[in-house]
Amino acid sequence: MSHYLVKRVLMMLLTLWIIVTLTFSLMHAIPGDPFASESDQLPEQILANLRAKYNLDEPLPVQYVLYLKNLVMLDLGPSIKSDTRGVNDMIADGFSASATLGAQAIVIAIFFGITFGIIAALNRNKWLDYAAMAIAVLGIAIPSFIMAPLLINFFAIKFPIFPVATWGTWMHTVLPSLALAFGPLAIITRYMRASMIEVMNQNYIRTAEAKGVPTLALVVKHGIRNAILPVVTFLGPLIASLITGTFVVEKIFAVPGIGKYFVDGIFNRDYPVILGTTIFYSSILIVTIFLIDLAYTLIDPRIKLTNKEG
């Protein structure tokens, strides 16, 4: 077990390091310097100071090492466009909003996705199945940046139930979370349905039925328990798409989250911000995937043993 753990942690660090290096190289592969746009506005001396402040006058490998050093101490550096806040500040700032949004979206997607999937599987080819599948298809076909304006149009303008945008009360979080959750919800629904159908066709369901287990217990204890396993393995990639979804949703709904800083950073070509937030997101993703995989080995009794022996 520990052998496996160590291997995984090393892989994680390796991937993270590759991301850092890749992003760093990319950011510095662009000819010219980030202050080019301001070179006509600021006197040369100040520009030189700026460059020195950001270590831009050092040779590239040195910049790299300096960056890594700071990284290990969890310092993501200053922003180029903003004087007052460094990247760490931005992340801290936007964290609560993004985290709330993300968490709510995940909960909605998982809860409803699994529920719809089960309902669809147990009512195969009847209207409940078609309804659930229709929702799933919509969720897969309609990207979040189109779903978001649609939701705004219907639930904030035509029927003014929710506020249009910005952040503040719980009501503000509903539409953005829905827009973000829709895609993952759709995928989970489909997956869960397929898994449930396959499980309910297994022989051990027959065995349980033959010993008199009532339908509810059959579905829950024997069906869902086994059907949910493949869906768990799928959560990792889902979280990745959720993260990229936040960029869009935060922008459209004007949510003061990290995504906003990230998107602004892209527009402004603010490289430290881009670099920093990318690393932040990637770390979260990689750690989350690791935790999910770990959880899976604990849930599935068949995996547990292999680890013990291996």
Partner 1 sequence: MEKHLLTIDNLKVNFKTYGGEVQAVRGVSFHVDKGETLAIVGESGCGKSVTAQAIMGLIPNPPGRIVDGKIVFEGSDITHLTKKEWMQIRGSKIGMVFQDPMTALNPTMKVGTQIVEGFIRNHQVTREEAQKRAIEMLRLVGIPDPEKRVDQYPHQFSGGMRQRVVIAIALACQPQLVIADEPTTALDVTIQAQILDLLRRLQEEQELSVVIITHDLGVVSEIAHRMVVMYAGIVVETGTVEDVFAAPRHPYTWGLMRSLPRIDGEEKQRLVPIDGTPPDLFNPPKGCPFAARCDYAMEICNQQMPEISTFEPGHQAACWLHDPRAPRIEELVAAGRQGE
Partner 2 sequence: MAMEQRIDPLFRPLSKQSEAHDISMRPSLTNVQQVVRKLVKNKLAMLGLAIILLLVVMAIIGPHLVPYSASDQSLLTKNKPVSAEHWFGTDDLGRDMFARTWAGARISLTIGVVAALIDLIIGVTVGGIAGYMAGRGKRGERIDTIIMRVIEVLYGLPYLLVVILLMVVMEPGMLTIIIALSATGWTGMARLVRGQILQLKNQEFILASQVLGAKFSRILFKHLIPNTIGVIIVNLTFTIPSAIFAESFLSFLGLGVQAPDASWGTMTNDAMGVILTGDWWRLFFPGLMISLTMFAFNVFGDGLQDALDPRLRE
Site residues (CB under 8 A) for partner 1?
202-204, 206-215, 221-222, 225-226, 229, 300-302, 305
State the nearest-atom distance from the C-beta of 230 to partner 1, in Å: 12
Closer by beta carbon to partner 1, 57 or else 209: 209
SS3 141: helix
From partner 1, partner 2, none, interface partner of 284 (C-beta below 5 to 8 A by class) = none
Q: List the Cα angle 174/166/172 in 5-degree steps.
A: 20
Is residue 80 a contact partner of residue 152, using CB atoms and an 8 Å limit?
no
Closer by beta carbon to partner 2, 28 or else 85: 28
User: Does 282 engage in binding with partner 2 (CB under 8 A)?
Assistant: yes
**Using the rule CB under 8 A, which residue among 164, 203, 204, 215 binds partner 2?**
164
User: Does 68 engage in binding with partner 2 (CB under 8 A)?
Assistant: no
State the nearest-atom distance from the C-beta of 79 to partner 2, in Å: 15
Neighbouring-strand partners of residue 78: 86
User: Does 91 engage in binding with partner 2 (CB under 8 A)?
Assistant: no
Question: 97 is written with which tokens?
Answer: 């909003």
Q: How far apart are CA 264 and CA 244, in angstroms?
A: 14
Question: 258 is written with which tokens?
Answer: 């990290």
The residue among 89, 22, 26, 81 whose CA lies nearest residue 258 is 89
Closer by beta carbon to partner 2, 29 or else 74: 29
256: how many CB neighbours lie within 10 A of its CB?
16
Closer by beta carbon to partner 2, 23 or else 82: 23
The residue among 71, 63, 72 whose CA lies nearest residue 28 is 63
Q: List the Cα angle 18/20/24 in 5-degree steps.
A: 115
User: Does 266 engage in binding with partner 2 (CB under 8 A)?
Assistant: yes
State the nearest-atom distance from the C-beta of 84 to partner 1, in Å: 54
**Using the rule CB under 8 A, which residue among 39, 49, 96, 153 binds partner 2?**
153
State the nearest-atom distance from the C-beta of 23 to partner 2, in Å: 6
From partner 2, partner 1, none, interface partner of 212 (C-beta below 5 to 8 A by class) = partner 1
Q: How far apart are CA 3 and CA 144, in angstroms?
A: 40
Q: For residue 236, what is the enclosing H or E element?
A: helix 225-252
User: Does 13 engage in binding with partner 2 (CB under 8 A)?
Assistant: no
Closer by beta carbon to partner 2, 22 or else 291: 22
